[in-house]
């Protein structure tokens, strides 16, 4: 029994050393980028990357540990022979991936995933893309690295799997290894936390090369295979060029917008509220009791009355709000770091203008590849639940909103302008546990949700009232919006536009107007370009329009799991792709709205596949 446990321990050590070697290989083969990063950052990649190394080792160990269970009873040399050849095969496959990755990174600029394997369907075309010298270099490097680690394994680790004897009594040993095998789920998913591990979990730097170095490429290839997306556009409704023309006509550059800012370089503070929908905001025709502070503040700024979330989850909202990129129906661009690094990050743009940017979230930054997205977007500082005291956490997600606002307030006492702050709340997310006496009585879920929204509203109002007393308020624009809404009642269709209607309010001393409403229909993707135009700047946001330009089109496009909604001033069209039919058509010309919505989705997904 002791021999087997010792063998397991040394087998884990072997694979960790193997992946450390792979990381060194990547560093040395990209010496120019590595030398620019510096020794300290490169050394840190081994620490941060260890999470994915351990996860990859857990996957590799699934079969060997499972077969160790019958070996407890059926002894012999069979297990030793199996583990030796199994290890050789995994080494060779891994070496091919690691070597292929280091060659491809020079051209692609991201760590290898399943993409190259798609080209193997047409091997002649794939071979035509590389020279004979490159092929020789590739196979030579893969063969040498395979031979090196096979030699090291045979010389130093193989001996730990010899001399296994039958365990008596065998049943406790079988039970032990069965439990141990089941516990592999913990390292595979990266721990027992809410969010499973992802490539973005190892991102820690503003240098994208450093973040890429921390990624375990063998894990990355396997993960992209397990979670592979369609390689062709499933939303091909017609000719792509015609669809492009229709989409372009929707977001054609409009006249100079009405300028409502009194400064071209204001401080920017985004406050993104978890799950806030119009139905709970009295100033938008909803419940007048749940958000008294937001209702009050709505009279002091610029309120957008026909504003929509781009999707139905936070990971779909953030690229829309901060990068002007619409949500996709069944996938999320945030979950793919190589794609998010291609987005026009608003924070990166502001950093180039001399702004100091920071992202504040009291939850787990590893959830849904949040970490890689935030860093790829260009934020200099990232504050997460790891920066707070665990005693302030709720039972599931992270730190309570009143603590978040309190620490944010302390941080903004010593500000350096101009600044860009983005704050994402979380207390109004399930399970709706908030440290406040309930405002509304009842134990049903909707009442708990209302109480959690009321709790966040209380501390939002308190924070804004404090901000008005600061020296920076006079040159600050506060943009308050929501990430998405929620389906509170089972009889509400998942595609209902009411689930996607959210508030957006602009406040602050940087506004030259107050107490007005903007009725034009828009969505989260319109925020970046509208903001930049107010600052006398432009940007490349191919799916967005300026909400403050008088002749820009009034429409909103949103997606749910397998469909979209397209809303205009005169028509509504909602399409379910699984049913291959519309589920709602209203207004003067819903057919036209449907054509535009389909064109928009087709072009969007085509763009998504190309990134």
Number of domains in the chain: 2
**pLDDT range class, residue 249, cuts 50, 70, 90:** very high
Cα gap 537→529, rounded to integer Å: 9
pLDDT at 216 over 60: yes
| Over residues 101-128, mean pLDDT | 74
Q: Tell me which residue range forms the domain holding 28.
A: 2-226
- Across the chain, mean pLDDT equals 93
Regarding whether 353 and 495 lie in a shared domain, the answer is yes
Question: Same domain for 17 and 125?
Answer: yes
Confidence of residue 95 (pLDDT cuts 50, 70, 90): very high
Contact 602, 235 (CB under 8 A): yes
Does 278 lie in the same domain as 129?
no
Q: How many helices (H) and strands (E) does the chain have?
A: 22, 14
In a domain, 151, yes or no: yes
- pLDDT for position 231: 80
Closest-CA residue to 453 (of 493, 491, 502, 411): 502
Nearest to 271 by CA among 375, 362, 392: 362
Give pLDDT, residue 150.
98
Confidence of residue 206 (pLDDT cuts 50, 70, 90): confident
Nearest to 369 by CA among 607, 188, 604, 202: 202
**Which of 72-81, 349-358, 466-475 shows the lowest mean pLDDT across its residues?**
72-81
Cβ pair 95, 149 in contact under 8 A? yes
Note the pLDDT of residue 128: 53
* Mean of pLDDT values over 20-36: 95
Q: Do both 208 and 315 map to the same domain? A: no
- Encode pLDDT of 544-553 as tens digits: 999 999 999 9
- Predicted local distance difference test score (pLDDT) of residue 347: 96
Confidence of residue 121 (pLDDT cuts 50, 70, 90): low
The answer as to whether 565 is a domain residue is no
Cβ atoms 481, 527 nearer than 8 A: yes
pLDDT of residue 120: 65
Tell me, yes or no, whether 290 lies in a domain.
yes
pLDDT > 90: percent of the chain: 79
Task: Indicate whether 242 belongs to any domain.
Answer: no
Examine the fold and report which residue of 514, 544, 574 is the final residue of a domain before the chain moves on.
544
- Would 50 be classed as within a structural domain? yes
pLDDT at 505 over 80: yes
Look up the CATH number of the domain holding residue 353. 3.40.720.10
Residue of 578 and 469 predicted with greater confidence: 469
Answer yes or no: do 293 and 167 share one domain: no
- pTM score of the predicted model: 0.83
Same domain, 276 and 198: no
Of the given ranges (27-31, 253-257, 296-300, 316-320), which has the lowest mean pLDDT? 253-257
Last residue of a domain, one of 172, 202, 226: 226
Phi first, then psi: give them for residue 11, nearest 5 degrees. -65, -40
Q: Which residue has the tokens 């006492």?
A: 413
Q: Classify each residue of 486-519 as buried b or exposed e, where b means 16 or more C-beta atoms within 10 Å of its C-beta.
A: bebeeeeeebbbebbbbbbbbbbbbbeeeeeebe
């Amino acid at each position: 029994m002791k021999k087997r446990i010792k063998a397991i321990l040394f087998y884990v050590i072997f694979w960790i050393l193997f992946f450390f070697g792979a990381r060194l290989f990547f560093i040395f083969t990209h010496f120019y980028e590595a030398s620019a990063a510096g020794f300290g950052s490169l050394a840190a990649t081994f620490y941060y990357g260890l999470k994915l190394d351990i996860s990859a080792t857990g996957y590799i160990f699934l079969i060997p540990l499972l077969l160790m269970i019958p070996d407890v009873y059926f002894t012999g040399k069979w297990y030793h022979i199996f583990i030796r050849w199994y290890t050789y095969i995994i080494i060779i496959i891994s070496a091919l991936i690691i070597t292929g990755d280091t060659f491809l990174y020079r051209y692609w600029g991201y760590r290898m995933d399943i993409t190259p394997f798609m080209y193997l369907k047409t091997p002649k075309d794939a071979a035509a893309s590389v020279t004979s010298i490159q092929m020789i270099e590739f196979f030579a490097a893969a063969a040498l690295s395979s031979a090196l680690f096979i030699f090291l394994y045979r010389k130093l680790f193989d001996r730990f799997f010899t001399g296994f004897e039958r365990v008596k009594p065998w049943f406790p040993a079988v039970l032990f290894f069965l439990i141990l095998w089941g516990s592999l789920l913990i390292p595979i998913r990266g721990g027992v936390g809410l969010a499973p591990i992802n490539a973005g979990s190892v991102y820690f730097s503003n240098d994208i090369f450093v973040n890429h170095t921390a990624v375990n490429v063998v894990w990355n290839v396997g993960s992209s295979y397990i979670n592979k997306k369609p390689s062709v556009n499933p939303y091909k409704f017609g000719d792509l060029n015609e669809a492009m023309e229709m989409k372009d006509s929707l977001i054609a550059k409009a006249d100079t917008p009405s300028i409502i800012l009194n400064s071209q370089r204001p401080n920017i503070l985004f406050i993104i509220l978890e799950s806030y929908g119009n139905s709970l905001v009295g100033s938008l025709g909803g419940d007048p009791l749940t958000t008294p502070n937001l209702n009050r503040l709505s009279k002091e700024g610029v309120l957008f009355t026909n504003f929509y979330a781009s999707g139905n989850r936070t990971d779909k909202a953030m690229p829309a709000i901060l990068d002007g990129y619409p949500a996709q129906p069944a996938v999320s661009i945030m979950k793919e770091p190589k794609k998010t690094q291609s987005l026009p990050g608003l924070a990166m743009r502001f950093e180039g203008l001399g702004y100091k940017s920071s992202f504040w979230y009291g939850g787990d930054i590893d959830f849904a590849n949040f970490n890689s997205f935030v860093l790829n977007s260009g934020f200099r500082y990232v504050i997460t639940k790891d920066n707070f005291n665990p005693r302030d956490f709720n039972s599931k997600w992270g730190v309570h909103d009143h603590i978040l606002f309190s620490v944010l307030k302390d941080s903004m006492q010593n500000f350096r302008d101009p600044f860009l702050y983005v704050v994402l709340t979380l207390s109004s997310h399930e399970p709706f546990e908030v440290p406040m006496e309930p405002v509304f009585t009842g134990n049903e879920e909707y009442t708990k949700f209302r109480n959690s929204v009321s709790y966040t509203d209380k501390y939002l109002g308190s924070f804004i009232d404090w901000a008005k007393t600061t020296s920076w308020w006079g040159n600050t624009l506060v943009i308050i919006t929501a990430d998405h809404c929620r389906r509170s009642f089972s009889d509400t269709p998942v595609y209902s536009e009411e689930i996607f209607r959210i508030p957006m309010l602009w406040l602050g001393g940087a506004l030259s107007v107050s107490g007005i409403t903007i009725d034009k229909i828009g969505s989260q993707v319109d925020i970046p370009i509208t903001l930049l135009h107010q600052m006398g700047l432009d940007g490349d946001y191919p799916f967005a329009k300026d909400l403050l330009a008088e002749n820009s089109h009034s429409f909103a496009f949103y997606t749910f799991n397998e469909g979209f909604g397209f809303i205009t001033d005169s028509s509504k069209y909602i399409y379910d792709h699984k049913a291959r039919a519309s589920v709602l058509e209203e207004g003067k010309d819903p057919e036209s709205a449907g054509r535009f919505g389909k064109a928009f989705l087709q072009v969007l997904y085509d763009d998504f596949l190309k990134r």
